[in-house]
Amino acid sequence: MHAASGQVFLPDSIGLLRNPKFLNVSANKVKALPESIALCSSLVEIDASFNNLLSLPINIGYGLVNLERLSMQLNKTHLLPPSICEMKSLRFLDVHFNELRGLPQTIGRLTNIEVLNLSSNFSDLEELPEEIG
């Protein structure tokens, strides 16, 4: 990790890690996860809570096919990329206390989801996706 003006950035080389199962970057002022995180297909859990994440990499869901838990509470995330709906193994998604303005229309594809915590978001939400609403 390297810091620039008080923000922390993870290196692109994180995608070169061999067989990581867990990634905990919580409470580090991380502003963004690198696109290369999607190359870590063996990840089962990511804890990126208590940071400054504005968004997730657009391709994150296509590579993290084994991810079961994604904790992102207390960030500044405005949207979840549609690719997150491709995480077929995802059972736990916690994005409470963010700045979400909506959900991907295909959120219903998360067929194994057991916990979906969206509390304290959606100040500008106009409607829920048809798949869950």
Domains: count for the chain: 1
131 inside domain: no
CA 87 from centroid of its chain's CA atoms: 11
pTM check: above 0.95: no
126 inside domain: no
Q: Please write the tens of the pLDDT for every residue from 56-79.
A: 999 999 999 999 999 999 999 999
Res 133: pLDDT: 56
Nearest to 87 by CA among 116, 62, 122: 62
Domain that holds residue 104: 2-117
List the CATH number of the domain containing 66: 3.80.10.10
52 inside domain: yes
Per-residue confidence in pLDDT tens, the chain, 133 aa: 555 566 788 999 999 999 999 999 999 999 999 999 999 999 999 999 999 999 999 999 999 999 999 999 999 999 999 999 999 999 999 999 999 988 999 999 999 999 999 999 987 766 778 877 5
128 inside domain: no
Decide: helix, strand or coil at residue 14.
helix
